[in-house]
Structure 1
Amino acid sequence: MGALSNIDPTAVAVWASAVVLFALIAVLRAVFKLNFSLLTVLALGLGIALSLVFDGQVDSLNLLGNIYINLITALVAPLIFVSIISSITYVGSLKKLRSIGLRSVGWLLLTNLIAIVMTLGVAIPLHIGSGVKLVDDESTAGFLTSQTAPLDQVILNFFPKNIVGDLSGNRVVSIIITATVLAIAIVSVGRQKDVSVVKRFFEQTKDVIYKAVGYVVELTPYAVVVLGAT
């Protein structure tokens, strides 16, 4: 009885309701072949409804939501790494890579410029942030200082110093730079030697990771129920 007395009836009811909603989504998916995007939107509505029914007391479902987020996060770095290497080695020509790289950087800068202009275009007329006053104390000053860094340090942090640490820390820019340099090296060596084994390794690794990502993506509607509720 002592162990049973510690069980939260509300949490049990929340989990039971979540299981029922999962079963409903599975039926809609398998029997009615509901579109994935529509199913995800419906899952969001079901999650919100679940939260409303239990008056927001659905914190016990955080475990499932965090597991899904962890799975997605864990796959980001290896997915980027092998995708870049596989794509560059597939092109195979340094001349083509140079052209594609310059165009990619150009489009990246252009889209960032558009985003900045749009942000300022909305923020300035609406006076977003006006009237906000930061508390002038040591804790606030220390926090703000920790969030800033000199330009040279920012640039230095872009470049990798430990690829294992970059992968584990999901430092995307460093991962991109490392993967790009490694892929270009593979293409360059491929001019004199046979590197088909290396190319095949990264191509097959990419296929495996894509399959793993697919498994996680299949869980999205169920995760959205939980995340929508919590």
Structure 2
Amino acid sequence: FMLMLQGDDGGWTSVDKAIGSPKLEWFNAANVFVDIMVDHAYVECTGSILQCFATIKKMRPHMYTPKMKKAGERGVAYLLNSQYSDGSWEALWGLCFTYGICFVTEGLKMSGISKDHEAIQKACSYLWAFQKEDGGWGEAQESALARKYIQAEKSVVEQTAWAIIALLNGGYAKDVRLIKAVNWLIDQQQVDGDWPLQPMSGLFYKTVMIHYRNYKRYFPVLALQKYQECLSVK
């Protein structure tokens, strides 16, 4: 099924293979949603599929086929070609540049791309430029409309977790800036183990914000787990 959804450009869509012309967007009658007439390839979806293929290769090698290998190579090429000149990747289903960079770097790294690859290091440099004084990251919801990173007033738990995951893929586990981010994330955890309510970080077709309640729980745990795993690697 996943192989079937890969587009001609090598990327993966969200729910259906892109089979219509982008010109169909001219007939979009919605007042709010952007790019809804045909499905498009998305960097975060592509990064996720690459993670899946890499996991199959590692955990179930007998299931890893030549078709998966070829599809993965095309997916890597799509991601490398989709990187903006400033080093970022723009996502559609979450805000926006922190989300995209997180999923793409994870997919590239799991696919065998070195942490020292120019694309990954450019993405890391992009993220470092937006780290807040407290160690976290906060990308404002206005980033979705502006199509550029806009600083939020405060750091956001899940966005900080996304940045940490991406920077760990760049080999920065022992960087003092990364340690500061990890400590900030830990300090936000409440006594009951939960994290406090965060601003909406989910996104729908570039215009509508969605509150995914488990983002503030899932992604910090994932980031902290990855951090510990990176520290244990000699």
Q: TM-score over 0.5 for the alignment? A: no
Please classify the TM superposition score into its range, dividing by the shorter chain length.
under 0.3
The structure, 1 or 2, with the larger RCO (C-alpha pairs under 8 Å, 6+ apart) is 1
Tell me the TM-score normalised to structure 1 length: 0.25
Q: Which has the larger radius of gyration?
A: 1
